[in-house]
Amino acid sequence: MSTSEDLSHWLIAHLNGGRYGGAQVLSPAGIDEMHRPAVDFSLMGQSGQYGMGWFVSTQGGRQVVWHDGVVPAYFGYMALLPGQQRGLVLLFNADHFLMSNTALVEVGMGAAALLAGGQPDPVRWGGIMPWALRSLLLVPLLQVLGVVLTLRRLRRWRRAPELRPSRGRTWALHVLLPLMPNALLVAAPLGLASSSLRGFLLYGPDFTWTALVCGGFAGLWMFVRSWLVLGHCKEDRQQRSVDMRRPRAA
């Protein structure tokens, strides 16, 4: 809960040996310890070292001390350039758990590179993740299309029984194979519920609601579709049995 101005004062203290104005909030040795690289890290294409609450990496040949922060619908990024006595803070009025550690951090790292006098790295996640999120709309559309195509196939089998596949092909192509994508959709909400459903609803409501609704529908459709397809095959076998029992004309 802050503003870019307040956070800039905090960054000034980090660049000024722990002092801002007339207040000494931390010793110079404490500031150095916070910025000292301690362990290696690698996260979503970013790599470097981690100090005491700060990531330490290199941009344009210069050391950058940075960290991001996320809350539902908001994202923040701070960076320090100790060698140049510069710093920046970026506050976003948008956030998504599939964007924060990828595209939004990429924006912050690019701004830090410009502040260091270099050029940002080529955009990677910033071009992929937005389209990946937009593609969520395809999931319910494909489900509706699957229902329509299944009903059309069943109607065609009813009108032309000779088009019905054999029992083996029915199980392989029209029962077991369609179960696979539906089972994946069912697994999505189960995986969310087993970790932190409330957190996913806060940090990615579009993704989470799509998984819950489409996964629930997929679980129901798996059984309904299998019942309809196998029911038609049963009718076909019964009809063939009746035809075999009918006396043939001499």
Give the confidence band of 242 by pLDDT, cuts at 50, 70, 90.
Answer: very low
108 and 164 part of one domain:
no
Whether 45 and 121 have beta carbons less than 8 Å apart is answered as: no
H/E run at residue 232: helix 205-245
- Strand residues in 51-178 grouped as ranges (E): 55-59, 62-71, 74-81, 86-92
User: What is the token pair recorded at 107?
Assistant: 């924006």
- Domain enclosing residue 161, as ranges: 130-245
Report the predicted TM-score, pTM, of the whole model to 2 decimal places: 0.73
184 belongs to a structural domain: yes
Q: Answer yes or no: is 250 within a domain.
A: no
DSSP annotation of 37: -
Q: Same structural domain for residues 116 and 137?
A: no
Q: CA-CA-CA-CA torsion for 144, 148, 154, 157, nearest 10 degrees?
A: -140
The answer to whether residue 220 sits within a structural domain is yes
Question: How far is residue 167's CA from residue 234's CA, in Å, rounded to a whole number?
Answer: 9
Q: What one-letter code names the amino acid at 128?
A: I
| Residue where a domain stops, chosen among 99, 123, 147 | 123
How many Å apart are CA 131 and CA 108, to the nearest integer? 20
Q: pLDDT of 13-47, one tens digit each? A: 999 999 999 899 999 999 999 999 999 988 766 77
* Higher-scoring residue by pLDDT: 230, 224: 224
pLDDT tier at 164, thresholds 50, 70, 90: confident
The answer on 134 and 241 residing in a single domain is yes
Do 119 and 157 lie in one domain? The reply is no
| Distance between first and last Cα of the chain | 93
Query: In whole angstroms, what is the distance from residue 233 CA to residue 220 CA?
Result: 20
Q: Is the CA virtual torsion 124, 138, 180, 188 positive or negative?
A: positive
Domain count, the chain: 2
For 119, phi then psi, to 5°, come to -120, 140
Enter the tokens of residue 215. Answer: 């996964």
